[in-house]
Amino acid sequence: MLQSLQLLASTAVMERVTLLLNHVIAAEPAAQQRLRPHAGRAIQIRFEGWPRLLPPLPPTAFRVSAAGLLEWCGTDVPEPPELRVAVDATNPALALARSLTGERPQVEVAGDAQFATDVNWLFDNLRWDVQEDLARVVGDGPARELARLGQGIAAGLREAARKVGDVATRLRGGERPEPPPR
* Maximum mean pLDDT: which of 6-10, 86-90, 162-166: 86-90
Write the pLDDT tens digit of every residue in 16-46: 889 988 988 998 899 999 999 999 999 999 8
pTM above 0.85, yes or no: no
Write the pLDDT tens digit of every residue in 60-73: 899 999 999 999 99
Tell whether the model's pLDDT for residue 104 goes beyond 90: no
Longest dimension (CA), the chain: 60
Contact 65, 86 (CB under 8 A): no
42-48/83-88 β-pairing:
parallel
Which CATH code is given to the segment(s) 2-127?
3.30.1050
